[in-house]
Chains A and B, each alone.
Chain A
Amino acid sequence: MLMEAIPAKEYKSEVTPVWCPGCGDYGVLNSYLKALSELKIDYNKAVTVSGIGCSSRFPFFVKTYGIHSLHGRALPLAVGVKLARPDLNVVVTCGDGDGFSIGGGHVPHVVRKNIDLTWICMDNSIYGLTKGQVSPTSSVGLPGSTTPYGCPDEPINPMAYTLTYGATFVAKAFSGNPKELTQIFIKAMQHKGFSFIDVISPCPSFNKRDTFKAYKDVLKPIPEDHDVTDKVKALDIALNSGEKLITGIYYKEEKPDYWSMLNEIKKKSKASDKPDYEAIIDTFKA
């Protein structure tokens, strides 16, 4: 953490975003920069990790260290960074196709390990960079270039998924509500453990159904009296909100993170800063 905050714009890199005009990802980027600023994060000690897709260009636009990895592989790379260097702030920024389709196999395992990192999923329910194919969060009937008669698949529920996999911080936010978005990013990054934010970030170019306007009509903040430690209630909101999509922090749990588990193992093994390699070799004596 820095001694004094630096302005959000100082966290912006010199690379200009390549997103379409009106893309929800601009709002996500702005809120991320604000969160970094408010948390006084030293950008030399932060790593923004992404996969492939429109939203995954994210790291190039931020002054932190970054990895722009492969399609679906942001989470494994981020895990490596965090477990090699627990002193770093690690944030994953990717999309719904990247995170839940090609990279979906990693999700349960990274979530259940409770590694201390934040996953921001920019969810536009479409593949944008390949110009409009349906994604795992597309609603039934949404037309796409490979589904001209409408999407036949039921969408997945990112909130219910991550809650049941054991995420210790689960929230939904909207790119069109920057104030709430920034606050949720701040709380997620402060959370010690795995935090997931499904950010609705509309694609104006290829998803004509899930637009800013359409979302403005159905989004509703979570009730003020919602108990964030109540997992069953959080699941209930995730599963039963229907058209009224609920934004806010659904769930938060305090639990030892993965690094502290690894430290326990190291203690059990009598870890040392000056390991006795000769003693290790002695174990091979006949």
Chain B
Amino acid sequence: MSTKDDLTIRIGGEGGEGIISSGDILTQAATRAGLNVLTFKTFPAEIKGGYAMYQVRLSNEKIISTGDGFNVFVAFNEEAYKVNKKKLTEGTVFVYDGNGTGGFEPGDLPGVVSYAIPMSKIAKEDLGTYRSKNMVALGAIAHLFSISFKSLEEIVTNKFKRKGDDVVSVNIKALHAGKDYVEKELKKKDAIELSSVEAKDDIIVIDGNEAIGLGALLAGCNFFSCYPITPATDVANWLSKFMPKVKGTLIQAEDEIASLGNVLGAAYAGAKAMTATSGPGLSLMSELLGMACMAEIPCVIVDVQRGGPSTGLPTKHEQSDLFLAAHGSHGDASRIVLSCDNVEDCISLTVEAFNLAEKYQAPVILLSDGSLGMRKEGIKRPDISKVKTLERLKYDPSSNGDEPFMRYKITDNWISPMSIPGMEGGAYVATGIEHGETGAPKYTPDNHELMGKKRFEKIKNVEDDLPESKRIGDEQADIGLIAWGSTQGDVTEAVNRARAEGLKVAALFPKLVYPVPVKAIEKFNKTVKKIMVPEINYQGQFADLIKAATGIPVIKYNIYGGFPFTPNEIHNKIKEMI
């Protein structure tokens, strides 16, 4: 792909220097100008200082992955340059804070087109405020690579107008200062120039965490309890603004145990309730997760995964909570685990998670991950008239006659009508202790076997509730990849490249990860000679679950350094393993 169609700009610098906000603004401006965008950011676990990076991939085509690296690197300081020095290879473009005070000089970079722009100096000396440095850089970048300057001005104006005209004008001035410097002092030496596109009105820019919040509201979620944890906090941040508008209730609890406790209490009382956390929080919730299973309380638990174990890598990317999501909690505790592939999925699969929780009166864990949670994508505006929501099977007080209500009645499909407090004659005790059909404690061997079976049988066919897993590639392939979560985009790009070289490759992307979608995987297995599961964890967690559930031997392909795969890595592995 030429850089006319596909350009990745990476901005690096010190945390707190405006890297993230400049990336956000660039993303918005490019979208407004009609480009597709997909972002990736990484920053230290500390608030100030340390290396922060924001990467924006821009294209006229649909973008599905973070990509392999960058075409353009913008360094706000020397440290960012040093971190990325090795990736400044032939054909890349390097923009840096140089040629004046506050900057640095990188020395000779063979094959790299370099532009030194004294961002710090212009900000401090010409504009009188160092904080405008990122705007100087943005103005320069937009002009260098023909990203609509008008859109940029509009976005900056909108962003700062609540802070007053003075703030707007300082920032606009800074954009112009960057642009002017490029115009007057630099001669364009690279060939990168994005072709112009038509602006589209039905595109929204949204990140994975916000998308989960939006999905929850569209699903009818009216209760949310949270406890702050990176990288999931933004789900709560977003919902805290909008949940009150739909007359829903959002509270911050004292810890994650309490969050899930609140959620179960609310769901028992009739609410559609959710919490969002990351690995350490899900660990704490494990015991109550078992109660949700035992007492058959519908609820949605979002896990935006980060690097583990323990505190691990709070701001980095990993897919290592699958075992916990599938098996965490003591005893035979059934649950449904879904996994989001991309930002659009974060909306629609959250709706699906609520629907499955309601249908099966069971806990549903929705897995996302740090890079997906924080990544912004320009996506088609969701059509809310197409959102289908489900309600739990409710007890009908008029249907029972004089019979006592049996909350855990054994039925053909193992799902029992659920009463809601307030319903005449529907009173029962929701309990974590083994119970008979009425809900009263009962410990007989027959009963424990029957109720244990009920809790698993009712979700046995959950695979059929979801659309068939997406399959790409050759109908008969020499190798088939099974990928879950945000790895899907990188695998798609890799498969496309391998096929362009004439290799026979296919891939399957299940959204249901537990119970393992056996039917889809067995069907896929019949069309490929071998299966490889690329995932970002040490153990090969999905690979093991697949092997356990289907007996199919699979090849594990694991990286676990804290970053997503690049399409290149997967492409090379396909060539190696085929």
Which A residues form the contact surface with B (CB < 8 A)? Answer: 15, 43-47, 49, 52, 59-60, 63-70, 73, 75-85, 87-88, 105-106, 108-110, 262, 265-266, 268-273, 275, 277-278, 280-281, 284-286
Contacts and interface: CB of A to CB of B under 8 A. Distances in A.
Interface string B188-206: 0000000000000001111
Interface in B321-361: none
B257 interface: yes
Contacts of B259: 76
15 contacts: A47-B269, A60-B441, A64-B427, A67-B265, A68-B431, A79-B262, A80-B225, A80-B269, A80-B273, A85-B421, A268-B244, A269-B242, A271-B244, A272-B247, A281-B214
Contacts of B441: 60
A73 B257 contact: yes
Contacts of B295: 67
Nearest to A43: B427
Contact of B269 (A88, A273, A280): A88
A100 B378 CA distance: 50
Contact of A83 (B244, B249, B291): B249
Contacts of A66: 427-430
Given A69-B432, A77-B261, A277-B218, 9 more contacts: A68-B430, A69-B261, A73-B288, A77-B265, A78-B265, A272-B246, A284-B214, A286-B155, A286-B203
B14 interface: no
Contacts of A77: 261-262, 264-265, 268
Interface in B236-273: 241-242, 244-247, 249, 251, 253-255, 257-271, 273
Identify the 5 closest CB pairs spanning chains A and B, nearest first: A80-B265, A76-B261, A84-B266, A284-B204, A286-B31
Contacts of B31: 286
A265 B252 CA distance: 14
B317 to A, nearest CB: 23
Q: Which of A45, A69, A268 has the most CB of B within 10 A?
A: A69
Contacts of B432: 52, 68-70
A164 to B, nearest CB: 16
B384 A286 contact: no
A76 B440 contact: no
B423 A67 contact: no
A84 B204 contact: no
Contact of B267 (A49, A80, A281): A80
B171 interface: no
A227 to B, nearest CB: 32
A265 B257 CA distance: 25
A105 B254 CA distance: 8
B34 to A, nearest CB: 10
A149 to B, nearest CB: 32
Contacts of A79: 251, 253, 258, 261-262, 265
Interface of B: 27-29, 31-32, 155, 203-206, 210, 214, 217-218, 222-223, 225, 241-242, 244-247, 249, 251, 253-255, 257-271, 273, 287-288, 291, 295, 378, 381-382, 384, 419, 421-433, 440-441
Nearest to A60: B429
Contacts of A84: 222-223, 249, 265-267, 269-271, 273
B424 A44 contact: yes
Q: Which of B205, B214, B222, B266 has the most CB of A within 10 A?
A: B266
Contacts of A47: 269, 421
B118 to A, nearest CB: 30
Given A73-B261, A271-B245, A271-B246, A286 B429 contact: no
Nearest to B271: A84
B258 A106 contact: yes
A286 B28 contact: yes
B431 A67 contact: yes
Contacts, number: 188
B433 to A, nearest CB: 6
Nearest to A270: B245
A83 B251 contact: yes
A286 B261 contact: no
B427 A76 contact: no
A108 B205 CA distance: 40
B421 A81 contact: yes
A67 B204 contact: no
Contact of A76 (B204, B258, B433): B258
B447 to A, nearest CB: 16
Contacts of A49: 265
A70 B330 CA distance: 13
Nearest to B203: A286
A63 B270 contact: no
B421 A284 contact: no
Contacts of B217: 275, 277, 280
A70 B419 CA distance: 21
Contacts of B424: 44
Q: Which of B263, B424, B429, B440 has the most CB of A within 10 A?
A: B429
A109 B258 contact: yes
B218 to A, nearest CB: 7
Nearest to A47: B421
Contacts of B291: 69-70
A240 to B, nearest CB: 30
Contacts of A65: 419, 421, 426-429
Nearest to B255: A105
B268 A281 contact: no
Contacts of B271: 80, 84-85
A82 B262 CA distance: 9
Q: Which of A46, A49, A80, A278 has the most CB of B within 10 A?
A: A80
A43 B422 CA distance: 8
A109 B223 CA distance: 18
Nearest to B251: A83
Contacts of A60: 429, 431, 440-441
B482 to A, nearest CB: 32
A269 B236 CA distance: 16
Contacts of A284: 204-206, 210, 214
Nearest to B404: A14
A81 B269 CA distance: 5
B59 to A, nearest CB: 15
Contacts of A52: 432
Contacts of B29: 286
Q: Which of B206, B222, B241, B245 has the most CB of A within 10 A?
A: B245
Nearest to B291: A70
Given A70-B291, A76-B253, A265-B244, A83 B421 contact: no
Contacts of B210: 284
Contacts of B242: 269, 280
A81 B431 contact: no
A101 B528 CA distance: 56
Given A106-B254, A268-B244, A85 B269 contact: yes
Contacts of A87: 422
A105 B259 CA distance: 13
A126 to B, nearest CB: 21
B404 to A, nearest CB: 8
Nearest to B204: A284
Given A80-B264, A271-B244, A59 B429 contact: yes
Contacts of A44: 421-427
